[in-house]
Chains A and B, each alone.
Chain A
């Protein structure tokens, strides 16, 4: 791994912790070619490294964190998203049969 990417990662995680976030996990999703050419900070990029950071933080710091990420020149595109595993998997009962006979005629009140 390049020392520049390591330095950039360290910077972002330190910024996270300064805002009172508890970092749980850091994952490297690999370095690959971007799906489309992204332009950021007056430069265009075709490939980049993907990193995923799990952290706990109060919701008020999200805005300032996004601001920080947009200002960092090493970060092409930074996003903060709710953790998908915290959402409960709602039990899907299946395809509920819709009574189509009721939908055949519109129930709008027509003026005579």
Chain B
């Protein structure tokens, strides 16, 4: 490397860079060769993946008998089901209403003070 630089001392700048790059490639052969099979990245799923967010009802057994839980998903004024897209809850609510456990057109006044689960804003 040192010997090459001494020779290029008198040449122009462009030629100097050419010679320098040529010298670099000669001394470091790994820049132009294919990496060995041990160095390739191993295909694996993302290890830094966070666990998926869980909803409130993820582990719970939804029963038509626990009217308190079901009443939390019903409007207090009309009795409309809030989480219509949560099919299990909707099925259980309908079942409870038909079997005579839960009122249809209003919310059971005993469960009005239950904690709010659905994020619905009422007109104040």
Contact = CB atoms under 8 A, between A and B. Distances in A.
Interface of A: 29, 34-36, 38, 48, 50, 52, 76-77, 79, 81, 84-85, 89, 92-97
Contacts of A34: 100
B54 A36 contact: no
Interface stretch (B4-12, B16-24, B33-41, B58-66): B58-66
Interface of B: 51-55, 57-59, 61, 63-65, 95, 97-105, 108
B95 A94 contact: no
Contacts, number: 49
A81 B54 CA distance: 29
A35 B101 contact: yes
14 contacts: A35-B97, A35-B101, A35-B102, A35-B103, A35-B108, A36-B100, A50-B100, A89-B61, A92-B57, A92-B58, A92-B59, A94-B51, A96-B52, A97-B52
Contacts of A93: 52
Interface SS, B side = loop
A79 B61 CA distance: 21
Given A81-B95, A89-B59, A89-B61, A94 B53 contact: yes
A92 B58 CA distance: 6
Contacts of B55: 92, 94-95
A38 B100 CA distance: 9
A35 B104 contact: yes
A25 to B, nearest CB: 14
A76 B52 contact: no
Given A81-B95, A84-B61, A95 B52 contact: yes
Given A35-B108, A84-B63, A89-B61, A77 B54 contact: no
A94 B54 contact: yes
Nearest to B96: A35
Contact of B103 (A36, A84, A85, A95): A36
Contacts of A79: 98-99
A21 B104 CA distance: 33
A29 B66 CA distance: 11
Contacts of B98: 79
The 10 A-B pairs with the shortest beta carbon distances in the complex, nearest first, are A94-B52, A35-B103, A92-B58, A94-B54, A95-B53, A79-B99, A94-B53, A77-B100, A84-B63, A93-B52
